[in-house]
A and B are shown apart, each in its own frame.
Chain A
Amino acid sequence: MNAPATTLAQRIGEQLAREPAENGLPRWARELAARDRARFLDHGLPHRRLEAWKYTPLDARPAPGEAQSPVDGFDAGEGVLVRLVNGAPQELPAGLPEGVRLRTIADELAEAPEDLRAALESIDTESPADVMTALNNADLGGGLVLRVARDVDAGQLVLCWRDTAQAPALANARVLVWLEEGARLDLVEDFAPGRALNVVQQFHLAPGSRLRHARLQAGLDASWLVTRTEVSQAGHSVFEQASLDIGDGLARHDLGVRLAGSGAACTALGAYLPGGEAHVDHHLDVRHEATDCHSTQTFRGVLQDRGRAVFNGRVHVLPGADGSEAHQSNKNLLLSHDAEVDTKPELVIEADEVVASHGATVGALDDKAVFYLRSRGIGEPEARRMLTGAFCREVIEAIGIDAARDAFLARLESHLEVRP
């Protein structure tokens, strides 16, 4: 690259200037993009003085790599597969079940439905902490919109995210999902970025709908994956998310859930195994806004080499959200002298009929357990691998989508083989 740009932020700025996102967009979308481009240029990449980015200051990271992703991907089985290359969806599948509509965000924007506008404008990007979302808005137009009609089971949709050598310095993409009343969807994502990818997802769950979301991140060395998932749940809807992070690069996942209708339930599961120079950061913010909602978060981490993990899990029970039940657990195995874990489980409780708990641990493998296995004739490396695997499997086995659970378990096993 001959450009004189020195920092990633500058390169992104130039990229935005070169390819103005305004083309073909309705006026409000152009305004949104222009406003947030200014915000990005003003704030720059997130830095360590921002509480939410304290342990993952993107401005201080080495620039992302320029590798090409492997071609192989998740076997969609009976489901529908969409490949997204450099953040852009390739050919969309035909023959989707009735009541399921999948389109590019550009096509949807051309029609400019009100709910799409409301969704895009709903995330406040004023704070420098939300600058990655501002950047995503500034580069509007790439990504997918999926709508599932009332009581329709959309089955399984697999999004396979890959980069080529032609990828921009940082690619942006958006995924929006609307599930109408009683609708169902299993969404599986397979991320193997080679460069930098910034994805914002917005899921809207109408009463009684269910979305199960499984995400695998196996980014290449020095790649970046920044995801932000905003979920809004109406009464008695169910959202289950599971993520497995085994990549060699950086991954930052923000999950924001609004339990806005009575009886809604949300589960977030995660296992992360950063080794080498990998860095995984989970930020969760679950808001109990209505009565009788349940939320559970279970995260397990294994850290090796110079791996680094950050966990920030916030559960906020708002006034009036009586009958809330919230449980959170984050456990970490720290297996190297050069690795680091920073965990911060938060509870903010403003209603009184509440049961809430959280727990966090950081430690090494239990020597007694290792010895027990060895005394039964199992070699030490194998014993450690078994125990480490068991530690993570607990959350992966709880994934509801069968195909994703099996595939994730297989990936976990092979990952542990390589890195005992």
Chain B
Amino acid sequence: MSSTETVERHLQGRYKHGFFTDIEADALPPGLNEDVIRAISARKREPEWLLEWRLRAYRKFLKMTEPHWAHLDIEPIDFQAISYYSAPKSDKDRPKSLDEVDPKLLETYDKLGVPLHERAKLAGVAVDAVFDSVSVGTTFKKELEKAGVIFCSFAEAAREHPELVRKYLGTVVPQHDNYFAALNSAVFSDGSFVYVPKGVRCPMELSTYFRINAAETGQFERTLVIADEGSYVSYLEGCTAPMRDENQLHAAVVELVALEGAEIKYSTVQNWYPGDEEGKGGIYNFVTKRGDCRGDRSRISWTQVETGSAITWKYPSCVLRGDDTVGEFYSVALTNNYQQADTGTKMIHLGKNTRSKIISKGISAGHGQNAYRGLVKVGKQAENARNFTQCDSMLIGKRCGAHTFPYIEVQNPTAKVEHEATTSRIGEDQLFYCLQRGIGEEDAVSMIVDGFCKQVFRELPMEFAVEAKALLEISLEGAVG
């Protein structure tokens, strides 16, 4: 291969979601104060109680201090330099249907591979797309309505279903849970809302695509999923952002509530812009995700593939409150170049006969730093709790790091908790075996890495698994040699 070809290939392969869409935006000037929060609330035509809720969160936020983490290297964030609201301008007149949505926006989603309009409806996935701060359209609305499933933007839910939002908002992740959750509670712009009624099996996968487009903007979406008794829902989210030199902040909150016998599967493919080879730019991805297995026999399963962001800090967790509840966490986190990931889960066993399973696969390449941080807690009353954790790290190259920090706290003698972890360099003998059969080094590496992640990919819906695999390959480019 000639050197020009190599360069070209490299450029193409790098970050394929790095385009920027030129759309006129209605944005608030940068800055954070009560007026900004009132302005956000007004623009979203929110009920008074929600504004009050936001302001309460903001006052708590002011009293908190930004956390410092031992294994993350973070430039200080200037919260006054961020714009907390940016919406495509056409949103002012609120598109009534997808046909009225700015065609440029639809083009953007086309580039992202989001099946937003008719053609893609064949794919059978209902999509809510959040562009900067605003939800721009939800497909399959009618079909979902027939089943009684509510799937809409958070702002719409606050207006149309205030009783549900009021009942559940902030009950899984309290406003003051942590610094970024408090910030989100004050300034969250939009997000998705899902309610699956009693006994309903949601007829299709629900999906949200998040996109940060505008510069100097933070994205603070809030997602609330409620699965009522005996219901089932599978929810997918994907995220991308354009390439920019400065760091952008993404501080989301996701709350899941599973009532008696309900099941929620929540899958994420996170591909926010990771910054360039020198570690310049990229998204700070500070996310609080928590599921509450509130009713007996409920089940929550988190699956995540994290390849993007300059810094990822997230611990999708399960509170196993009901008896016979199940929590699962499947994760692949890849860090290349100067990316840092600190991710893991918390499994809080409170009910009787609760079970949890954690499978975490970390891959570090380049100067990437990858940490698993997890907590398995078995409370005094949690008879017969079971946990199995497997946590494997793979190192590719000499300058990366892989770290494992599991906390295990057990207060009940009937518990059975098992944790296993391994760290090793990508197997030299495996690589040579592939090479000896004629497979090139990069292909061999992605093949081995893909195999390493199999247990997690298996948990993803088919289309997502394919995307996840492709993402890993792109993210690993240049990691070998």
Q: Which residues of B contact A344 (CB under 8 A)?
A: 405-408
A347 engages B402 (CB within 8 Å) = yes
Q: Which residues of B contact A342 (CB under 8 A)?
A: 407-410
Q: Smallest CB-CB separation from B372: which chain A residue?
A: A347
| Residue A356 lies at the interface, judged by CB distance under 8 Å to chain B | yes
A352 engages B395 (CB within 8 Å) = yes
- Residue-by-residue, is A327-365 near B (CB-CB < 8 Å gives 1, otherwise 0)? 000001011110111111111111111111111111110
Q: Smallest CB-CB separation from B414: which chain A residue?
A: A364
A358 engages B397 (CB within 8 Å) = no
A352 with B417: in contact, given A337-B412, A345-B406, A346-B403 (CB under 8 Å)? no
B421 engages A347 (CB within 8 Å) = yes
Q: Which residues of B contact A355 (CB under 8 A)?
A: 423-424
| Residue A319 lies at the interface, judged by CB distance under 8 Å to chain B | yes
Q: Which residues of A contact B423 (CB under 8 A)?
A: 347, 349, 354-357
Q: State the total of A-B contacts with C-beta under 8 angstroms.
A: 107
Q: Which residues of A contact B380 (CB under 8 A)?
A: 337
Q: Compute how far the CA of A12 lies from the CA of B417 in the bound complex, rounded to whole angstroms.
A: 40
Number of interface residues of B (CB under 8 A): 35
Q: Compute how far the CA of A362 lies from the CA of B419 in the bound complex, rounded to whole angstroms.
A: 9
B404 engages A346 (CB within 8 Å) = yes
A363 engages B403 (CB within 8 Å) = no
A359 with B413: in contact, given A344-B405, A352-B397 (CB under 8 Å)? no
A363 with B415: in contact, given A346-B403, A347-B403 (CB under 8 Å)? yes
Partner of B408, one of A336, A349, A354, A362: A362
Partner of B419, one of A339, A341, A360: A360
Q: Which residues of A contact B409 (CB under 8 A)?
A: 340-342
Q: Which of B402, B410, B424 counts the most A-chain CB atoms under 10 A from its CB?
A: B410
A367 to chain B, nearest CB (A): 11
Q: Smallest CB-CB separation from B426: which chain A residue?
A: A352
Q: Compute how far the CA of A353 lies from the CA of B402 in the bound complex, rounded to whole angstroms.
A: 12
B479 to chain A, nearest CB (A): 12
Q: Interface range on chain A: under 10, 10 to 19, 20 to 34, or 35 or more?
A: 20 to 34
B369 to chain A, nearest CB (A): 9
B411 to chain A, nearest CB (A): 5
Q: Smallest CB-CB separation from A348: which chain B residue?
A: B403
| Residue B420 lies at the interface, judged by CB distance under 8 Å to chain A | yes
A356 with B403: in contact, given A334-B412, A336-B413, A339-B413 (CB under 8 Å)? no
Q: Compute how far the CA of A337 lies from the CA of B411 in the bound complex, rounded to whole angstroms.
A: 7
B419 engages A364 (CB within 8 Å) = no
B476 to chain A, nearest CB (A): 15
A334 with B413: in contact, given A349-B393, A354-B424, A361-B418 (CB under 8 Å)? yes
Q: Smallest CB-CB separation from A308: which chain B residue?
A: B411
Partner of A362, one of B404, B410, B421, B422: B410
| Residue B399 lies at the interface, judged by CB distance under 8 Å to chain A | yes
A334 engages B415 (CB within 8 Å) = yes
Interface of B, helix, strand, loop or mixed by DSSP: strand
Q: Compute how far the CA of A335 lies from the CA of B414 in the bound complex, rounded to whole angstroms.
A: 8
A361 with B401: in contact, given A344-B408, A354-B425 (CB under 8 Å)? no
A208 to chain B, nearest CB (A): 29
Q: Compute how far the CA of A335 lies from the CA of B410 in the bound complex, rounded to whole angstroms.
A: 11
Q: Compute how far the CA of A345 lies from the CA of B389 in the bound complex, rounded to whole angstroms.
A: 13
Partner of B416, one of A335, A352, A353, A363: A363
Q: Compute how far the CA of A319 lies from the CA of B369 in the bound complex, rounded to whole angstroms.
A: 13
B408 engages A343 (CB within 8 Å) = yes
Q: Which residues of B contact A346 (CB under 8 A)?
A: 403-406
Q: Which residues of A contact B419 (CB under 8 A)?
A: 345, 358-361
Q: Smallest CB-CB separation from A333: which chain B residue?
A: B413
Q: Compute how far the CA of A316 lies from the CA of B148 in the bound complex, rounded to whole angstroms.
A: 53
Q: Which residues of A contact B71 (CB under 8 A)?
A: 348
A341 with B404: in contact, given A359-B421, A361-B418 (CB under 8 Å)? no
A357 engages B420 (CB within 8 Å) = yes
Q: Compute how far the CA of A341 lies from the CA of B378 in the bound complex, rounded to whole angstroms.
A: 10
A352 engages B425 (CB within 8 Å) = yes
A345 to chain B, nearest CB (A): 7
Q: Compute how far the CA of A346 lies from the CA of B411 in the bound complex, rounded to whole angstroms.
A: 21
A358 engages B421 (CB within 8 Å) = yes
A352 engages B400 (CB within 8 Å) = yes
Partner of A348, one of B401, B418, B422: B401
Q: Compute how far the CA of A336 lies from the CA of B410 in the bound complex, rounded to whole angstroms.
A: 11
A364 engages B401 (CB within 8 Å) = no
Q: Compute how far the CA of A332 lies from the CA of B411 in the bound complex, rounded to whole angstroms.
A: 12
| Residue B398 lies at the interface, judged by CB distance under 8 Å to chain A | yes
A345 with B402: in contact, given A340-B409, A352-B395, A360-B408 (CB under 8 Å)? no
B408 engages A347 (CB within 8 Å) = no
B158 to chain A, nearest CB (A): 38
A335 engages B413 (CB within 8 Å) = yes
B397 engages A334 (CB within 8 Å) = no
Q: Smallest CB-CB separation from B378: which chain A residue?
A: A362
Q: Which residues of B contact A336 (CB under 8 A)?
A: 413
Q: Compute how far the CA of A266 lies from the CA of B396 in the bound complex, rounded to whole angstroms.
A: 27
Q: Compute how far the CA of A364 lies from the CA of B425 in the bound complex, rounded to whole angstroms.
A: 35
Q: Which residues of B contact A340 (CB under 8 A)?
A: 409-411
B389 to chain A, nearest CB (A): 9
A341 engages B416 (CB within 8 Å) = no
A322 to chain B, nearest CB (A): 8
Q: Which residues of A contact B397 (CB under 8 A)?
A: 352
B379 to chain A, nearest CB (A): 10
Partner of B406, one of A334, A350, A352, A360: A360
A319 with B418: in contact, given A337-B413, A360-B408 (CB under 8 Å)? no
- Residue-by-residue, is A22-44 near B (CB-CB < 8 Å gives 1, otherwise 0)? 00000000000000000000000
Q: Compute how far the CA of A364 lies from the CA of B415 in the bound complex, rounded to whole angstroms.
A: 7
A358 engages B407 (CB within 8 Å) = no
B243 to chain A, nearest CB (A): 29
Q: Which residues of A contact B399 (CB under 8 A)?
A: 319
A341 engages B408 (CB within 8 Å) = yes
A159 to chain B, nearest CB (A): 34
Smallest CB-CB A-B distances: 4 pairs: A363-B416, A347-B404, A334-B413, A362-B417
23 residue pairs of the A-B complex, CB under 8 angstroms, read A334-B412, A334-B413, A335-B413, A337-B412, A337-B413, A339-B413, A340-B409, A344-B405, A344-B406, A345-B406, A349-B393, A349-B402, A349-B403, A349-B423, A352-B397, A352-B400, A355-B423, A357-B423, A358-B419, A359-B418, A359-B420, A363-B415, A363-B416
Which A residues are closer than 8 A to B by beta carbons?
Answer: 319, 332, 334-337, 339-364
Q: A340-B410, A349-B395, A352-B400 given. 13 additional CB < 8 A pairs?
A: A337-B413, A342-B407, A342-B408, A347-B393, A349-B401, A352-B397, A352-B398, A355-B423, A358-B419, A358-B421, A360-B408, A360-B419, A361-B416
